[in-house]
Copies of this chain bind each other. A is one copy, B any other.
Amino acid sequence: MIDVTLLGTSALLPLPDRALTAAALKCAGHTLLFDCGEGTQTAARKAGISLMTADIIALTHYHGDHTFGLPGLMQTMGSMGRIAPLVLTGPAGLHDAMAPILTLAEGLPFPVRLLSLPDEGLRMDTLFPGWPPMARLTAFPTCHRVPSQGYCFSLGRAGKFNPERARALGVPLALWSTLQSGQAVRLPNGAVQPEQVMGPSRPGLKCVFTGDTAPCASLTEAARGADLMICEATYGQDDQADTAAQYGHMTFSQAGEAAANAQVKRLWLAHFSQRIEDPLVFLPNAQAYFPGAQCGRDGLRITLTFPPDA
C-alpha cells in the first residue's frame, strides 16, 4: 500500500491556494518527500501530513521553487525534536546546491546526509529500517534547463504463499512470515527456500514524480505502467509548446501524451504556471491524449493498493 498526497501544484512561485509543487509518499508508516519549495511544510500541515519523520527528500533539481523550503522544514524538524538522520538526494551538483541551504539551517540536532542514488535505485530498507523490503526509489534523467531527474518509487510484491507446500515441508507456522518476507528458514532436516513455498512474484505498485521536464523518452520508459504519474504541466495551451520547450517544460497536451505513451494507470497534472487561473479549463487538452487525466490540486490524495490476485 502506498499513500500519495500532492502538497502543491504551483510553478515558479507559491500562491495562496496553490503551494509550490511537491508530494509526500507514505508507505508502511514511513515518509518520502518529493521536492521542497518555499511553503512545503505549511502545505503539508494543511493537508494533514506530517513530514517531521520523513526519511528522505528527493529533489528533482535545484531551482528555488523546488528547494527553498528546505531550511525552514529542517529547522522545524529540529525544533520538534528530530534526531534521526535526514537524507537529501538529487541530480548532479547536490553538494554545491545544498551548501548554502545547510549553512542557513546550521545547528540542527540531527545529521543531514547527501546521497546520490545508485543507478539501480535505492532499496529503501537498506538505509531506512522499517520500509518494506521490496520498496525502491529510482531516479531517471529528465530534460530541464539544469541537471534534473524524476523519481520512480516502486513497491514490489512477492508471489502468493502456498500453505499446503509449507505444511508438507514441515515449516512451523511461526516461520511462515520469514519465508513470506523472502528469507530462507533452517529446519532440522535442512533449509527451506522462499521459492519452494511462494508462487511467481505478482505485480507491485509504482508511482512516478516527474519534476520539471520537457517530454523525453527516459520519462516514458521510467513511467511505463505506473499506477500514478504526477507530471508537470506548466502550460495550458497547445500553442505554448514552443515556450514550454524553451524552458524545459510541458503543455497539458504533452503531459497527457506522455502518460498515454507510458500507459500509466493514473495521471495527475501539476506544476501549473501562475498565469493559469483554473487548471480545469485546460484539462481537456490532456484528456484528448489520456482520458483519465486529472488536474492535481493541493492536498489531493490517493491510496494505491495491490491489485486483487487474478
Determine the residue in chain B with the shortest Cβ distance to A62: B104
Is A158 interfacial (CB-CB < 8 Å)? no
Q: Which residues of B contact A64 (CB under 8 A)?
A: 71-72, 75, 104-105
Is A79 interfacial (CB-CB < 8 Å)? yes
Determine the main DSSP class of A at the interface with B.
helix
Contact pick for A14, options B12, B41, B79, CB 8 Å: B41
Inter-chain CA distance A41–B105, complex, in Å, is: 20
A72 near B14: Cβ-Cβ < 8 Å: yes
- Copy total for this chain: 2
Inter-chain CA distance A105–B62, complex, in Å, is: 11
A103 near B100: Cβ-Cβ < 8 Å: yes
Determine the residue in chain B with the shortest Cβ distance to A64: B75
Inter-chain CA distance A155–B38, complex, in Å, is: 34
B38 near A15: Cβ-Cβ < 8 Å: no
A72 near B104: Cβ-Cβ < 8 Å: no
Contact size range, A: 20 to 34
Q: Which residues of B contact A188 (CB under 8 A)?
A: none
Determine the residue in chain B with the shortest Cβ distance to A18: B42
Is A13 interfacial (CB-CB < 8 Å)? yes
Interface 0/1 of A6-49, CB less than 8 Å to B: 00000011111001000000000000000001110110011000
A12 near B79: Cβ-Cβ < 8 Å: yes
Nearest-CB distance from A24 to chain B (Å)? 15
Q: Given contact pairs A13-B41, A65-B75, A104-B104, enumerate 14 new A-B contacts (beta carbons under 8 Å).
A: A13-B72, A13-B75, A13-B79, A14-B41, A14-B72, A19-B42, A38-B38, A38-B69, A38-B71, A64-B75, A64-B104, A68-B68, A99-B103, A100-B101
